[in-house]
Structure formats: C-alpha cells, structure tokens
Amino acid sequence: MTAPAFLQIAIYLITLLVLAKPLGIYMARVYQDQSVGLNRCLAGFEKLLYRLSGIEANQEMRWSQYALAMLSFNLVGLLAVYGLQRFQDLLPLNPQALSAISPDSALNTAISFVTNTNWQAYSGETTMSYLTQMLGLTVQNFVSAASGMAVLVALIRSFVRRNSIGIGNFWVDMTRSILYILLPLSLLLAVVLVGQGVVQSLKPYQTVSLQQSLSHSSSNQPDDNLQVVQQTLALGPAASQIAIKQLGTNGGGFFNVNSAHPFENPTPLSNFLEMLAILLIPASLCYSFGVMVGDTRQGWVILGAMTLVLVALIFVTVSAEQNDNPTLTALGVDQIASAQQAGGNMEGKETRFGIVNSALWAVVTTAASNGSVNAMHDSFTPIGGMVPMWLMQLGEVIFGGVGSGLYGMIVFAMVAVFIAGLMIGRTPEYLGKKIEAYEIKMAAMIILIPPFMVLGGTAITLMLDVGKAAIFNPGAHGFSEVLYAYSSAGNNNGSAFGGLSANTPFYNLMLGIAMLFSRYWLMIPVLAIAGSLASKKIVPVGAGTLPTHTPLFAVLLIITVLMVGALTFVPALALGPIVEHLQMISQHSLTGSL
C-alpha cells in the first residue's frame, strides 16, 4: 500500500472516532428525555404530534406491545410504498410520465425500503417518479432507520431497569429518533451536498447538446454510423434522499449507479462526507450505549472491537485492489501506481475516487447495512469482492445498521459471556443481568436466521432453472453473484454484484422473503430479550463476574463474531471467490510456464 492510501484511511477513521463521542452524548440525552438544544424549537411540535396521533407519551409498553406497534407501523409503510409504485402513472410529480411498476418489483422494493435494506432491482431514473422517490422511498429511509434505533434503545433500557414490565414507548422512541437526530443531520448534510453539486430539483429531465458528437453502429445495421449530438440528463430531488440514505444506513440510490453517479456524488469532498455519514450514527450509538448503561467503557469496548475488524478488512481489500492482476501482468500491462495512473485494478471504479476510496467505501458500506456503492463490487478482484460479502455474512454487526448493528453486537456480547460462563461454571452476567436459557434461545434465533436465509436461498436458487437463467457469468463468479445477492438481502444490506438479472418475479419474491425474515424475525427476539432483562433484578458485581469493559473481552467478542462467520460461510465462500482467486493465480502460472 502507498503512503497516500494510509493517509486517506487514517483521516477517515480519525474523523469518525472523534465525532462518535459528542454525537453519542447528544443521542443519549435525546433518549433519556434530557434537554438538548433543539428542545426549544421542536418540543412543542413533538407534543403536537403525540396529541394529533392519540399517543400517550408517558405510557410504557410491554415488549410484546412494543413489537406489535413496530410491526403494524412498518406494515402500513409497506402498503403505502407498494401503492405509490402501482399507481405512480396516475399521480403528480411524474414529469417523465413513467409507467406503473409491476406487482412483483413493487412488492420487492416496498419490502426492501421498509426493512432498511434498499435492495434495488430497478434503475431509479427510468423507473421511479419524483413523488415515489420522495413520499415513498425517502420517507421510509427515515422511518425504517428510526425503527431500528427504537428497538436498540428498548434493549439498552432493559439493562438499567429492574423488576419492570415496560421497555419504553415505540412511538416516542421513533419520533425522537427522527425529529432530533435523523432530520437535523440529514438537513445539514443535504445542504452541503447541494453545495458540492448534488442535484435537488423538480424540473423534468434536461436535453443538452454534446460538446463533441459521438458515432456508433446499430445492431440491425452495423454498416451505418449513427451520430449522437444530444444527451438527456436525469434530474430530481436527489440531495435530500442521498443525505438520509447514508445517515440512516439505507443505501438506496436516486440514480441507477448509486454514488458512482456524478449527480449523486460529484466531488472527493462529497465522497468523504457521504462515506463518513454511513458509519457516523452506528459508531456514535456505541458511546450512547455506554452513557445510558452508566459505564462508557462498555461502549468503547464494543466500538473498539468493531473498529479493529473494520481496519483489518480495509487493508485486505485495498491491498487486493492495488496489487497487480496476474492475468494482465502476463500480457505486459503496466499496473504500477504512479503520478500518471492509479495502478492495480481500476475496472468498475471512478477515476475521480481511485482505488483507495472505492475499496474503503466498499468495506464501510458492507460493514454497515448501507449498501450504497461508488464502484462496482462485481469488478473487484476475487479477494477484494469477498471481503464485502463476508462482512455482510457476519450479521451486519461490524457497525451495522443504525440501531440494528449495535443490538446485534450486544447479542453477540451476551453469547460471549455465556461461553465464558460455561468455562468457569457460573451463570453468565452482562451489565448486571443474568443471561439465562431464555436469552440464549432468543440469541440463537437471531444468529441463525440470516445464515439460513442466505445459504438456503442460494441453494434453492441454484437448483432451479429459473434461478440459474438470471446468471450472466459462468462458473465460480456466477455462484458468487447469487451468494452475494442473498447475503445482501438476508442481512438487510442492499448492495449487489452486477451480472445478475434480479428483476424477475422469482428473484423479487425470494429476495423479498429473505429481507422480511432477516429484519423482523431478528427484531422480535431482540425485544423479547429486552422484556426478559427488564423484569430481572440487577446482580451486584462479584469476584466471579467477567469484566466486560476490558481489552480481553473485546478480543473474546471479536473471536465469537468471527468464529460464527467463519464456520457458517467459509464452505460457501470456498465455492465462489476463493476458488475464483485460485483460478486467477493458476491461469497466470499456466501462462508463465508456456
């Protein structure tokens, strides 16, 4: 790796960690109903919302009531997004007169955005009207993120409450997440992005004359040269959607190529800010967790564990992309980084970002359940593409989605203390609460459901002709494309390898099922754990209590996460990116011997 590569990575990580503490303190104060600066202008509006909605803000909910409120609200959102797509041709703010979305694609997209996955099997600028993008997709970017944050806050409360049947109020937690956290940050980021050149307009698409005409031949008449002198520029209210898609770890792009599009991510500064926004809230929530449980060391340990895994995989990916491709080296292609060229594997990457920022984004977006891209992961080297896939397969707990990543990591922490407790013959405790059979059963469900959806979905797809017909690339890479798709949907990430024609009734249904189960069949057990822990008394720290605020526990936590990911997915990875890497090396060896 080059010195500029180290510098770019260091600047990103330092900025992220410096911002984590102040934002974490702020969010903890929001959820503890303490005064923050925005109370002066938003508290009255918050109370008005409760009054108009008939919500008793002080009314506590059992975990089952909390879950029912969350599920019912998300169901309404799903139906609303589906309806907007099906009738968008009859609704306003559709200057391009785009037609209604097919039932299977509309259902897949509705599920995708409601579950905070934002898997997109469509091209935004040729499929979605402005109204659908704003009222449907952007709104869900806010509320799906807020739903995950609300579930996390309910779980955190359960550690500090004793002999309680209530874990908070879903409506209050969700409203405060949007009103005091997501909305102000999104507004600030959107304004900055507009200043960088991200479009924000309700005007129709604009046709402009090319400075230099282009010529090409028609497939029907290859001998004729067709002159192209104009280009249609897609516009729309992009900046407002881009801001929350990053901050809410949603990831769904306004345009088809997501943040590789110059109207969505035009400059190195916009690239840095959008990438920073992906991990900003997940990192800060770790510190909020420490503040809310009364021991900030607990938050630092989890944040440290996440960061160590992230940094290691960043260097693996950047190195894989900066190294020479053996096949091209054998052909005499110069792949050395210099002042004239980036070197390494530049296929599928934007020259304005280069290898380091493309690889860094790929790791960051899959460490979080974001899924936005500024380069095409399908064009990465086998190892460079495997790392983002494996990060998703770890359960999206290395930072993960806003709320969902941290509550997933807390579940792994409970499993870690349970394993440690078995070793010394004591009932495990975490933050003063005994971790017993019920909690471990729920934790097992949380850990096992995503792999079941990923591996089961991949196996079913590859056994059926309708599944294999959508694969454009043969062999190991084609297998990787399918495995990546289910890893993305089954862990609510949303990114994709290219080369898979996923906008078909079969894939729309299969991936939709994976997204639904992997979102809500994890949220419900998490809330069940919260209800159980809140009803327990707090156990005083004793001589046999495992300290969970030390570097040793951070190592134990990392090992627990990595072992689950390795034991579950390495056999499947061996059939895809690992064997593809070996094939690439063997082809080079064969060429050299000849």
pLDDT of 588 above 70: no
The per-residue pLDDT for range 436-458, each reduced to its tens digit, is: 999 999 999 999 999 999 999 99
- Residue from 368, 366, 367, 341 nearest 355 by CA: 341
pTM equals: 0.94
Q: Give the pLDDT of residue 587.
A: 67
Instruction: Name the CA radius of gyration of the chain, rounded.
Output: 24
In which residue are the tokens 């400059």 written? 267
Gap between the Cα atoms of 430 and 415, Å rounded: 10
Q: What average pLDDT does this structure show over 81-86?
A: 97
The percentage of residues in the chain with a pLDDT greater than 70, rounded to a whole number, is 97
Q: Give the pLDDT of residue 553.
A: 94
Q: Give the pLDDT of residue 103.
A: 96
**Mean confidence (pLDDT) of the chain:** 92
Beta bridge partners of 404: none
Task: Provide the residue type at 135 as one letter.
Answer: L
Alpha carbon of 352 to those of 261, 316, 495: distances in Å? 11, 22, 21
pLDDT of 127 above 60: yes
Contact 577, 476 (CB under 8 A): yes
Least confident among 197-201, 321-325, 548-552: 321-325
Q: Who has greater pLDDT, 249 or 498?
A: 249
Q: Which DSSP category does 375 fall into? A: B
Gap between the Cα atoms of 483 and 580, Å rounded: 14
Q: Which residues contact 547 (CB under 8 A, 6 or more apart)?
A: 553
**How many helices (H) does the chain have, and how many strands (E)?**
22, 4
Query: Counting beta carbons within 10 angstroms of the beta carbon of residue 109, is it exposed (0 to 12), middle (13 to 18) or buried (19 or more)?
Result: buried
CA torsion through residues 159, 518, 395, 362, sign: negative
Task: Provide the residue type at 281 as one letter.
Answer: I
**Side-chain half-sphere exposure of 417, counting CA atoms within 13 A:** 26
Q: Which DSSP category does 63 fall into? A: H
Query: Counting beta carbons within 10 angstroms of the beta carbon of residue 367, is it exposed (0 to 12), middle (13 to 18) or buried (19 or more)?
Result: buried
The percentage of residues in the chain with a pLDDT greater than 90, rounded to a whole number, is 82
Query: Counting beta carbons within 10 angstroms of the beta carbon of residue 590, is it exposed (0 to 12), middle (13 to 18) or buried (19 or more)?
Result: exposed
Gap between the Cα atoms of 62 and 100, Å rounded: 41
Diameter over CA atoms, the chain: 85
CA torsion through residues 58, 59, 64, 69, sign: negative
Q: Which DSSP category does 380 fall into? A: S
Q: Give the pLDDT of residue 327.
A: 74
Q: How many CB atoms lie within 10 A of CB 143?
A: 21
Task: Provide the residue type at 84 as one letter.
Answer: L
Q: Give the pLDDT of residue 13.
A: 97
Task: Provide the residue type at 559 as one letter.
Answer: I
Gap between the Cα atoms of 355 and 346, Å rounded: 7
Contact 167, 154 (CB under 8 A): yes
Q: Which DSSP category does 499 fall into? A: S
pLDDT of 592 above 60: no
Q: Give the pLDDT of residue 224.
A: 66
**pLDDT band at 226; cut points 50, 70, 90:** confident
Task: Provide the residue type at 144 as one letter.
Answer: S
Beta bridge partners of 209: 230
Strand 225-233 and strand 429-430: the pairing is: unpaired
Strand 433-434 and strand 429-430: the pairing is: antiparallel
Gap between the Cα atoms of 131 and 94, Å rounded: 7
Strand, helix or coil for residue 526: helix
Q: What average pLDDT does this structure show over 218-235?
A: 78
Burial 247-278 (b: 16+ CB within 10 A, else e): bbbbbbbbbbbbbbbbbbbbbeebbbbbbbbb
Alpha carbon of 423 to those of 481, 482, 492, 549: distances in Å? 40, 39, 34, 19
Q: Give the pLDDT of residue 594.
A: 45
What are the tokens at 331? 């052909």
pLDDT of 593 above 50: no
Q: Who has greater pLDDT, 219 or 585?
A: 585
Gap between the Cα atoms of 209 and 193, Å rounded: 26
CA torsion through residues 530, 532, 534, 537, sign: negative
Sequential DSSP letters for 214-235: EEEE-SS-TTPEEEEEEEEEP-
**pLDDT band at 97; cut points 50, 70, 90:** very high
Q: Who has greater pLDDT, 343 or 154?
A: 154
Contact 558, 413 (CB under 8 A): no
In which residue are the tokens 């940050």 written? 185
Q: Which DSSP category does 138 fall into? A: I
Q: Give the pLDDT of residue 589.
A: 54
